Structure 1
Amino acid sequence: MGKQLDSITEELKEFIENQKIFFVGTAAAEGRVNVSPKGTDSFRVIDSTKIIWLNLTGSGNETAAHLLLNDRMTVMFCAFEGKPMILRLYGHARIFHKRDPEFHTYTGLFPPNTGSRQIIEMDVDLVQTSCGFAVPFMDYKEERETLNSWSSKQGIEGIETYWQNKNTKSIDGFETKILDIQ
């Protein structure tokens, strides 16, 4: 059954690398709790207590807004194939934008993507596994290319215009600072 660990083991790192989807949960002190599904080749285990993920441009920017107000974050993986398991990573996270040196340190770990919006780095302070016995089997078919195609068509200027129109505030009105200049 479930276990709690201080760090990501090699076995859990391999499990993470084989997953096609993960979920990110964040919340400010007030307002809505956000849970976002994430896919594509956008997650990396840096070491046993540090992970990063490439946050692509989307219809909202809740994670960034929440992390500026409350740096707690949970990442969850579920096994939809093979041995059942749910894996949760708990920790404290930071946002890096294209204006930040850390963004450029990490961006080379991912395939190039016009829609790259932020890189989120999380220090993991608790790793929890649970059985996943009720998670259904689901077959992976293929990646959706819709977001990447859309981002490419927009180009950098189009993406920045989209950020201005759709990504500067959360649904609760919290700032995301995506366009701030240092």
Structure 2
Amino acid sequence: MEPINFSANAVTSEEELREIVGTPHEHVIKKNVSLIDDQCKRFIEMSPLFFLSSSNAEGKCDVSPKGDFPSGVHVLNNKQLVIPDRPGNKRVDSIINILSNPHVGLLFLIPGLGEVLRINGRATIIKDPEILSSLSLKGKPPLLGIGVDVEECFIHCPRALYQSKVWNTDSWPDKADLPSSLEIFHAALRHNGVKLKK
């Protein structure tokens, strides 16, 4: 299929957008808060998985899954939290983005729960030994942390997770039918000119 020119028939203003989708209910607008209250803190402490979105100064975006033990993300107070940067593949895409653009979005999930918690704020890469020691895993503190000054926090409706049946094991595909991550990885290397040993 030939590439499509999406801009030929695009929505280009909020006014046009509202004509199509309408206006949200007052309660939907006013559910946003600019702090981590007790309910949001409890949600974060029970979440073993979240997604961190970031972009660089040019606007190029990245979303990175982050898995940890529940309460791995440390809530410092009602305006700040800290994310440990656990050892990984050393790409550090999110951290590099944050160095040029501090705006981040977080999406926290709890297994079996349809609602997700969304947090937006400004991030800073920190190396404070005292804070990092409080994020230790098996006695080892992370080398770096991502401190987030929370600007917006709200619960998101369960429609997407319920519709996708992501927590319903009966709807999961057979593992034999799943795409192979190794095959995808090797194909990407070949696309980029890397010769793999047979």
Fold equivalence (TM over 0.5):
yes
Identity %: 23
CA RMSD of aligned residues (A): 2.3
The answer to which structure has the higher helix fraction is 2
SS of structure 1 residue aligned to 2:111: coil
Q: Gaps (5+ residues) in structure 1?
A: 140-182
Query: 1:91: which partner in 2?
Result: 121
Aligned residues: 134
C-alpha deviations, 1:141-170, integer Å up to 9, x for none? xxxxxxxxxxxxxxxxxxxxxxxxxxxxxx
Q: Does 1:138 align with 2:167?
A: yes
CA 1:137–1:69 in 2, change beyond 3 Å: closer, same or farther? same
Cα distance in structure 1, aligned partners of 2:147 and 2:67: 17
Kindly state the Cα deviation for residue 64 of structure 1 after the two structures are TM-superposed. Answer: 1.2
Query: 2:147: which partner in 1?
Result: 121
Does the 8 Å CA contact 2:54/2:97 hold for their aligned counterparts? yes
Does the 8 Å CA contact 1:54/1:118 hold for their aligned counterparts? yes
Kindly state the Cα deviation for residue 31 of structure 1 after the two structures are TM-superposed. Answer: 5.9
Kindly state the Cα deviation for residue 116 of structure 1 after the two structures are TM-superposed. Answer: 2.4
Cα distance in structure 2, aligned partners of 1:36 and 1:26: 8
Computing the radius of gyration from Cα coordinates, the structure with the larger value is 2
Query: 1:55: which partner in 2?
Result: 85
CA 1:76–1:138 in 2, change beyond 3 Å: closer, same or farther? same
Matches within 5 A, 1:153-168: none
Query: 2:60: which partner in 1?
Result: 32
- Output the TM-score relative to the length of structure 1: 0.66
Cα distance in structure 2, aligned partners of 1:57 and 1:115: 10
Q: Select the structure with the greater relative contact order (CA < 8 A; seq sep ≥ 6).
A: 1
Query: 2:13: which partner in 1?
Result: none
The residue type equivalent to 1:51 in the other structure is L
Kindly state the Cα deviation for residue 86 of structure 1 after the two structures are TM-superposed. Answer: 1.6
